[in-house]
Amino acid sequence: MQDYVLQARDLDILIQVVRAEGFEVMGPVLRDNAIVYDAISTAADLPQGWTDEQEKGTYRVKRRNDGAYFGYAVGPHSWKKFLQLPHRQVWKARSNNSGIQVAEIVDEAPQLAFLGVRSCEMHAIAIQDRVFVDGEYQNDSYTRRRSNIFMVSVNCTSAAASCFCTSMDTGPRVTLPCDLEMTEVIEGETHYFLVGSESYRGARVLQQLPVVPSTQEHEAKAERAVQNAVRQMEKGPRNFDSTDLKELLYRNYESPSWDRVAERCLSCANCTMACPTCFCSTVEDTTDLSGTYAERWERWDSCFTADFTYITGGAVRPDTRTRYRQWMTHKLATWHDQFGSSGCVGCGRCITWCPVGIDLTEEVRKIRELEKINREGP
Amino acid sequence: MVPDSRAVKKTSGKRKLAVWKFASCDGCQLSLLDCEDELLALAGEMEIAYFMEASSHQVEGPYDLSLVEGSITTARDKRRIQQVRAQSRVLVTIGACATAGGIQALRNFSDVEEFTSVVYAHPEYIATLKTSTPVSAHVAVDFELQGCPINKHQLLEVISAFLHRRPPQVPAHSVCVECKIRGNVCVWVADGIPCMGPVTHAGCGALCPGYSRGCYGCYGPKENTNTASLCHWWKKELGADQATIVENLRNYNAAAPVFARESRRQERPDGEK
Ligand code: SF4
Ligand code: SF4
Ligand code: SF4
Ligand code: SF4
């Protein structure tokens, strides 16, 4: 892939060209003390000069001492909210003398550009694609939305303490296909983006930008910037070996560790809502007072709720122990058998946005340690 | 929770609705009156047989559906709720008072005689029980709709479900689920504000966090609550003091067992032991 250099001051041109190509641009914005994903119309809407500090159960935005546009990690939102809608109507039905008429609700699938998609997020989207587009449980709404996305990815040049994509082999360098790939470089007075395109649509946009072909020096600087994120994670608190997670969890279905985490877990479902791969939803059927009109809605659901496993006689997972075990074992173990990959991309959202700071990397470590103690004695 | 949707026999003619008031502020009954557009439809489907807040016209029982607002605070109400139950095929309690004892259940944590002696010139005229208790402490309840006040859309949903013999879609999960679905930024994690959302029953649509405030639990406990862990974190990581913790647990749902137990535990000198 031939890379080009786009000066940082020209970032807005990129946004305007993508808009002119017919896409509504969604990207990071600073709102309510967090960097969330929302509609943007100019580069000035981006959280330039801001970063985030994340640890378990805490998130704070802070000023950076430079003008970086993408100098933060992932926030509370994920792109899933644009693809697998949190709440949507599936059908409506009316009954009259001639029977029941059911009308499917086909929600419009807007042409969206996602600006600033990180590598772990690309992996998360690919995971959801395997479920909703290629899998047994196809979701038309998702599929239609997904096919309209113009994807602009950004290589991470700094990582939050909650990030562990290097351990999950999902980042920080973008490896999955997108329309445009960018790396932000700030060194002294220089501030530019290394940009490459991997699709026809991306190339069309690139052609319209005031770019120059990159030199080896540009590329070396970009590589150094990405290596910075790698180093942060390798030295960070959540670096671990994930290769045997499936077997580990399959062996430890009865680990006492599950009881301990259940004492702390609130069963609030924040982790699953924030997770970019968690795809579970429920359908809610309702009628109006007359009983002649009915609706079905699809809504995000979570393995942390009782309704989720409610069948005749009660919930299959009535307590927090079984719910947390289900969540983590699905993410890190059974997902492999079901979809051929881990269900976790190491984005750290479940760690940051868990109100009581439950950290799945820490839970894995505890399970491993307890197993060792059980085997070898303390 | 998907409640027991026991079959309701279809009687001939319209089914009869009764709305009862016990110790309460009338806010939940007002939620019903607030269903302006749907009230006509409701009157079309049900005979509004007893609803003193709306009309002095009364039709005798038995009633197919009784909505009960308010808690039990007097000996007379204790008898009256038995009569209401006896006349009702299905009894649904509405609001924090009826489902958990309401704000007036703060008396459960103190000495009510001390209050009456201070407040009233002639405390001997006051005939009240020492406690405020939910309706379910006295009679069998078919469904509890939580909230202070209740959400009128949920009330219509419960009535529609009753009329058409299906389980109501009133999920018992946390406010956090609604908060995330709305796309709110969590005020607990991003601002360090103590928020009751993780232990509170959904239904409000995460109203308070939507305005950058912590939830104060007006919808009462969700299913499977872990108040001990919540309070531990508030204290340890958010630096909340005992008063903040106890005040949040002792709101409109102070006597809900999981909130009451935890607020008592928090008040003990040895704290979280
Ligand atoms: S499980 Fe946690 S770290 Fe893994 S993808 Fe989901 S939110 Fe991110
Ligand atoms: S792990 Fe944390 S976020 Fe997930 S349900 Fe438990 S307390 Fe909530
Ligand atoms: S703000 Fe409160 S209700 Fe919303 S997710 Fe955070 S803890 Fe839950
Ligand atoms: S206090 Fe909690 S339950 Fe009540 S309206 Fe606010 S967020 Fe909703």
Domain boundaries, chain B: 15-163, 175-267
Closest CA to A186 of A35, A317, A49: A49
Q: Is the pTM of this model over 0.80?
A: yes
Largest CA distance in chain B: 61
Q: Which residues of A touch B156 (CB under 8 A)?
A: 289
Cβ proximity of A74 and A96 under 8 Å? no
Structure tokens at B225: 């609550």
* pLDDT at B2 > cutoff 60: no
Q: Which CATH superfamily is domain B15-163 in?
A: NADH:ubiquinone oxidoreductase-like, 20kDa subunit (3.40.50.700)
Q: Which residues of A touch B198 (CB under 8 A)?
A: 266, 268, 270, 355
**φ, ψ for residue B20, nearest 5 deg:** -115, 150
**B185–A355 CB contact, under 8 Å:** no
Is the C-beta atom of B175 inside 6 A of ligand 4? yes
* pLDDT at B5 > cutoff 60: no
Say what the pLDDT of residue B4 is: 45
Coil, helix or strand for A154? strand
Closest CA to A78 of A20, A127, A12, A137: A127
Residue B61 contacts A, CB cutoff 8 Å: no
Task: Report the residue of B5, B8, B177 to disrupt the A interface, i.e. the one with the largest count of A CBs within 10 Å.
Answer: B177
* Tens digit of each residue's pLDDT, chain A (378 residues): 679 999 999 999 999 999 999 999 999 999 999 999 999 999 999 999 999 999 999 999 999 999 999 999 999 999 999 999 999 999 999 999 999 999 999 989 999 999 999 999 999 999 999 999 998 889 999 999 999 999 999 999 999 999 999 999 999 999 999 999 999 999 999 999 999 998 999 999 999 999 999 999 999 999 999 999 999 999 999 999 999 999 999 999 999 999 999 999 999 999 999 999 999 999 999 999 999 999 999 999 999 999 999 999 899 999 999 999 999 999 999 999 999 999 999 999 999 999 999 999 999 999 999 999 988 876
Say what the pLDDT of residue A157 is: 96
- DSSP classification of residue A333: I
What is the residue type of A221? K
Cβ proximity of A1 and A196 under 8 Å? yes
∠ CA A344-A345-A351, nearest 5°, is 70
What digits encode the pLDDT tens for the residues B62-106? 999 999 999 999 999 999 999 999 999 999 999 999 999 999 999
Return the ligand 3 atom nearest residue B176 CA: 8
Long-range residue pairs from A126-130, CB within 8 A, at least 24 positions apart, any chain: A126/A176, A127/A277, A127/A339, A127/A341, A127/A343, A127/A345, A128/A80, A128/A83, A128/A84, A128/A276, A128/A277, A128/A279, A130/A339, A130/A340, A130/A341
- Average pLDDT, stretch B120-135? 94
- Average pLDDT, stretch B14-38? 94
Residue B189 contacts A, CB cutoff 8 Å: yes
Cβ proximity of B6 and B49 under 8 Å? no
- Start-to-end CA span in chain B (Å): 31
Residue B171 contacts A, CB cutoff 8 Å: yes
Sequence-separated (6 or more) residues with CB below 8 Å from residue B157 = A286, B168, B169, B170
Beta strands in B72-148 (DSSP E): 88-94, 143-145
- DSSP classification of residue A243: T
Residue B166 contacts A, CB cutoff 8 Å: yes
Q: Which residues of B touch A290 (CB under 8 A)?
A: 41, 44-45
What digits encode the pLDDT tens for the residues B149-173? 999 999 999 999 999 999 999 999 9
What is the rounded distance in angstroms from the CA atom of residue A162 to the CA atom of residue A58?
A: 10
**A32–B185 CB contact, under 8 Å:** yes
